[in-house]
Amino acid sequence: MAEYRTFTTDDAMRFADEHSGLFGEHSKLSCEEFGDGNLNLVFRVENDKGTSLIVKQALPYARCVGESWPLTIDRARIEAEVLIKHRKLCPEHTVEVLHYDAEHAAILMEDLSDYRILRSELIAAKQFPHLAAQLAAYLANTLYYTSDFALTGPKKKQQVSQFLNPELCLITEDLFFTDPYCNHERNNVHSEIRTEAQQLWHDEVLQAEVAQLKADFLSKPQALLHGDMHSGSIFINDENCKVIDAEFGFYGPIGFDVGSLVGNLLLSYLSHFGLTADSSARETQQQYLLEQITCLWQQFSSQFKQLMEQECREPSLQNSLYQQRFMQQIWADTLGYAGCELIRRTVGLAHVADLDSISDSTLRGQCEAKALKLGRQLILQRHELANMAQLVALIQYQQA
């Protein structure tokens, strides 16, 4: 294969066949394209024994707007290389990449056909007791082992350069940190919360805090982030969960990954005010989500602390007082980025199904207003909220 071209199902089958020993006879393969994303083609290639693999190919433009929004296909390299690195650090919870082809920006990877997307499951009020503990392990291992605690200066600089990812970072810089705080044409504001959105656009105290969080996103390369840790990037079943879709990966602030996930769990929490009419069912699900958020932070922070204490290769960062402050700073960042996620998913371009699938628009507006209010509180109070108990109290206070 030579120059880039968009794959047909035939191409995808050939690609899967060529780069895996799983399949046997080529003639017995079948293939369907099922991507619902805007940026990629996604094929499932299957043999007659039910073994299947995924072929994901980056499109050189954003599909939702035709071919008018060009987007580097180098993001397939980023995705493959982040996933391969993260899988080395946390094999249990990272999807397996079998092959990456630079010319075609195509990745052959494990099919998670016995898993489902976490977001849909949470919307359906499903519960998975292992969710938080497993994702905490993923975050602690991938973030610790790519940080200054584990890598020498030169080694880390090489990785910073390998994962610069300027184009996809720019999307986040705009959609996550800029648009929601001004009356930008890319925003998507339901009429029910127009007033609250306008307050946001004039809230200079909040904007100063968001500027700090954005500056850190631009200039705090602490670890190799997944970069897009929302509940649509996580596949789950009754035993396990696995992280996919790492094309936004880059070296950034640790709290961005943790906070994005916390923000998505909070979005699910708030959405059930609109999704689940039965108050007992709603309370059960919301209680579950709060427990998961609590467990996520506790397990993540205790594992990260343990790694700092036991594995740190850098003598001057072994100081225990420094490590304590480092965790405190990740905590504050986590709250801040979680708050940004709540806000940008409510008034920005990219909404979440959790809120958008609330059929009653008045109810949906109420949930969205709660998301804006809580998001603002998390950002403004991120240095004051001392621990998880205070965060939970603040969240529960929203219901009153």
Residue closer to its own copies (CB basis): 51 or 72? 72
Least Å from the CB of residue 156 to its own copies: 7
Query: Which are the contacts of 148, defined by CB distance < 8 A and separation ≥ 6?
Result: 156, 222, 314, 317
Provide, rounded to whole angstroms, the least separation between the CB of residue 370 and its own copies. 24
Other CB atoms closer than 10 Å to residue 117's CB: what's the count? 17
Closer to its own copies by CB, 30 or 319: give it: 319
Least distance between its own copies and beta carbon 32 (Å): 36
Which residue lies nearer to its own copies by CB, 33 or 173? 173
Q: Which is nearer to its own copies, 53 or 206 (CB)?
A: 206
Closer Cβ to its own copies, 219 or 362, answer by number: 219
Q: Which two structure tokens, joined as six digits, stand for 63? A: 């599909």
The reply to whether 92 sits in an annotated binding site is: no
- Whose Cβ is closer to its own copies: residue 49's or residue 325's? 325
Q: What are phi and psi of 104, to 5 degrees?
A: -100, 5
Report, in Å, the least distance between residue 302 CB and its own copies.
21
Length of the chain: 400
The response to whether 228 counts as a known ligand-binding position is yes
CA distances from 342 to 262, 266, 367, 375 (A): 10, 8, 11, 5
Please name which of 6, 87, 92, 93 lies closest in space to residue 42, comparing C-alpha atoms: 6
Residue type, 188: N
- 110 labelled ligand-binding: yes
> Does the annotation place 247 within a ligand binding site?
yes
- Count Cα atoms within 13 angstroms, Cβ side, for 388: 13
**Is 242 marked as a binding-site residue?**
no
The alpha carbon dihedral of 59, 64, 67, 71 has a sign of negative
Question: What does the block give as tokens for 177?
Answer: 């940190």
Minimum Å distance from CB 74 to its own copies? 12
111 is in an annotated binding site: yes
Q: How far apart are CA 227 and CA 169, in angstroms?
A: 8
Tell me how far, at minimum, the Cβ of 315 lies from its own copies, in Å. 6
Q: Which is nearer to its own copies, 269 or 331 (CB)?
A: 331
Report the nearest approach of its own copies to the CB of residue 178 (Å): 5
Q: Which residues bind its own copies (CB under 8 A)?
A: 148, 152-154, 156-158, 160-161, 164-167, 169-170, 173, 177-178, 181-182, 204-205, 207-208, 210-212, 214-215, 218-222, 315-317, 319-322, 325-326
Q: Which is nearer to its own copies, 65 or 321 (CB)?
A: 321
Find out whether 349 is annotated in a ligand binding site. no
Taking the complex as a whole, the smallest distance from the CB of residue 321 to its own copies amounts, in Å, to 4
- Taking the least distance from each CB to its own copies, the nearer of 102 and 170 is 170
Separation of alpha carbons 120 and 138, rounded Å: 21
**Considering the complex, what minimum distance in angstroms separates the CB of residue 238 from its own copies?**
39
Phi, psi of 97 (to 5 degrees): -95, 125
Which residues participate in the annotated binding site for substrate?
A: 228, 344
Which segments are annotated as binding site? 40, 56, 110-112, 228, 245-247, 344
Annotated binding residues for ATP = 40, 56, 110-112, 245-247
